[in-house]
């Protein structure tokens, strides 16, 4: 059964919420030193990246400030270049990009729901 656009965005927001929960009260050094935390956050970033690939171009075009391509590219990097993952980049994404993406995805969800 095909999933709705609303469900895709809800999935993204769920993963964002989990990333924020996992990263709460954690420092960059704490992240770098915790392979389990890295795995949890990177898995959620992969899910976000895969999910946005299913968002139709029509919706993407309505929200050009969302870096759709970069999000899916990060997923590809995490999935296929696991020996070359830059943990500092992942942490920067977690701390700097995820909160902004959450705000933007909430706007997308509101748009979809009309």
CA–CA gap between residue 88 and residue 34 (Å, rounded): 13
Domain membership of residue 90 (yes or no) is yes
Domain membership of residue 114 (yes or no) is no
Domain membership of residue 40 (yes or no) is yes
Domain membership of residue 32 (yes or no) is yes
Domain membership of residue 44 (yes or no) is yes
Q: Cβ distance 78 to 42 under 8 Å? A: yes
Q: Could you list the residue range(s) of the whole structural domain that residue 51 is in?
A: 5-108
CA–CA gap between residue 48 and residue 111 (Å, rounded): 19
Is pLDDT at 1 greater than 70 in this prediction? no
The pLDDT tens digits of the residues spanning 3-54 come to: 899 999 999 999 999 999 999 999 999 999 999 999 999 999 999 999 999 9
Catalytic residue among 60, 75, 89, 113: 75
Catalytic residue among 20, 43, 69, 80: 80
Domain membership of residue 113 (yes or no) is no
Domain count, the chain: 1
pTM of this structure:
0.93
The pLDDT tens digits of the residues spanning 47-99 come to: 999 999 999 999 999 999 999 999 999 999 999 886 789 999 999 999 999 99
Residue with token string 């759709």: 68
Tell me if residue 44 is catalytic: no
Tell me if residue 95 is catalytic: no
CA–CA gap between residue 90 and residue 52 (Å, rounded): 18
């Amino acid at each position: 059964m095909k999933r709705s656009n609303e469900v895709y965005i809800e999935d993204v927001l769920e993963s964002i919420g989990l990333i924020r929960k996992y990263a709460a009260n954690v420092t960059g050094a704490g992240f770098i030193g915790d392979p389990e935390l890295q795995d949890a956050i990177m898995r959620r970033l992969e899910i976000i990246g895969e999910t946005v690939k299913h968002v139709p171009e029509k919706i993407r075009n309505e929200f050009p400030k969302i870096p759709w391509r970069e999000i899916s590219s990060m997923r590809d990097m995490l999935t296929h270049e696991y020996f070359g993952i830059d943990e500092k980049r992942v942490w920067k994404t977690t701390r700097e990009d995820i909160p902004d993406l959450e705000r933007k995805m909430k706007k997308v969800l509101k748009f979809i729901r009309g």
